Copies of this chain bind each other. A is one copy, B any other.
């Protein structure tokens, strides 16, 4: 036995792209017989810190046989290669991932203890730095779900999430924003509210998220008509020129931890009240907003299912907003059925364009919801007297001012384009004649996802049977759209296996 303590070796290895897309997860591939693995005693699943060009990531080790790599090389997954800004020929330094001390706060939360700002900050720092494996992130998300965060904890989590990302300041205020807590397919009002109120002079630098558990987020829908991946200087230029924008929040790194947690929530189809509030408000605070109008659809199959739940969530949003110097106003809206006709990024964008262009078959419900929200925001921003916001919003839409502003915003973001059309579709007919009595929004969203939304932007559901509509047997209740025959078949198989999604009686 040799008595020997030596300092951590330099552990330098040539890195090269492995050409493997592991989505957001960082994976490093090394040979079992490589000197670094042998000297460190590393096996598969060990978490390794990789440093290159002043950046670091924590990657999961996959040990590979001889073949793809030389013995002194390490391969990186696409996500790791990108995060390290690596270039062919780079030499990276490897070290064991430092022990994740913040996990003790996750465990404390699991055991029902309260966390303070230090606890949340250490967790959120580690998450944002990519030091949490998917298992760690899933444990944190789960431990906070099911209403296990109280008011103070939610404020602490919100602050922690703001502090870990970039923060935008604007030369002049007030700064307005509009948000929907989601859960209602097709409720794409932001793409209408932003151009309307921007046309009236309010400043609305809207950052949107991609879908969490839904078939499309505003960022997904907007991306089918204009680029949404803008860095902060580009976003500033758009807002300075047009007063508003609709960009993907993650591309300006306003809340980098949130983007990782959202991936886990999506995989679990799980939202938690505390994390929902922290996620929404941390992004608003980081974006420099001072006033936020929140649309909260309420219905038995929407995200918020009862008036009581809506009240509780509204109170939490307003209280946490107050603690962050953010004026929050919440509007409860009808969440019993989809808004507009489209469910899925491109299909929802089509509805928005129809309203803006005042086409004869534009969805009235989407238009009226957007006008109501825009009116309230105009009143909140004192751009319209109390009680006359709706009227002002409507006049901006009918005058064509909203459409011109929307096009101008799209042009400023990189150029307007028409949304794509899916290659495959299948009408789903009513099995009997009668009146539409009930709609299962959750399962409608599910089927749009099975058809490929949001990853396939043109995929989703074109919904034709609103509540109260009389339908004939054989008439389509909705039309499935997909980019591949496999996905179309997958969605219809699921559809046929379950109870009807639209009840006709």
A interface residues, Cβ below 8 angstroms from B:
1-9, 11, 19-23, 29, 32, 38-41, 43-45, 62-65, 67-68, 77, 96, 99, 103, 106-107, 110-112, 133-139, 141-143, 145-147, 264, 267-270, 421-427, 446, 450, 452, 455-456, 459, 481-490, 492-494
List, in ascending order, chain B residues with CB within 8 A of A136's CB.
Answer: 138, 267-268
CA of A493 to CA of B20, assembled, Å: 34
List, in ascending order, chain B residues with CB within 8 A of A142's CB.
Answer: 110, 138-139, 142-143
6 closest Cβ contacts across the A-B interface?
A19-B65, A40-B486, A138-B138, A142-B142, A41-B484, A23-B45
In angstroms, how far is the closest chain B Cβ from the Cβ of A159?
A: 24
Query: Are A4 and B134 within 8 A (Cβ)?
Result: no
List, in ascending order, chain B residues with CB within 8 A of A270's CB.
Answer: 107, 110, 139
Query: Are A1 and B489 within 8 A (Cβ)?
Result: no
CA of A484 to CA of B37, assembled, Å: 9
- Which residue of A38, A135, A269, A446 has the most chain B CB atoms within 10 A of its CB atom? A135
Query: Are B38 and A484 within 8 A (Cβ)?
Result: yes
List, in ascending order, chain B residues with CB within 8 A of A9's CB.
Answer: 485-486, 489
Query: Are B107 and A269 within 8 A (Cβ)?
Result: yes
Q: Chain A interface mostly helix, strand, loop or mixed?
A: mixed
CA of A486 to CA of B94, assembled, Å: 11
CA of A264 to CA of B110, assembled, Å: 14
In angstroms, how far is the closest chain B Cβ from the Cβ of A279?
A: 17
Residue of B nearest to A140 (CB): B142
Query: Are B486 and A96 within 8 A (Cβ)?
Result: yes
Query: Are A427 and B62 within 8 A (Cβ)?
Result: no
CA of A493 to CA of B97, assembled, Å: 13
Query: Are A110 and B146 within 8 A (Cβ)?
Result: yes
A135-B138, A269-B103, A489-B6 given; A41·B146 CB < 8 A: no
A selection of 30 A-B contacts at a CB cut-off of 8 Å is A1-B422, A3-B426, A4-B425, A4-B485, A5-B426, A8-B486, A8-B489, A8-B490, A19-B64, A19-B68, A21-B64, A22-B62, A23-B44, A40-B487, A62-B77, A96-B490, A106-B268, A107-B269, A110-B142, A110-B145, A110-B270, A112-B146, A133-B267, A135-B135, A135-B137, A135-B138, A135-B267, A138-B138, A139-B142, A142-B143
CA of A103 to CA of B270, assembled, Å: 10
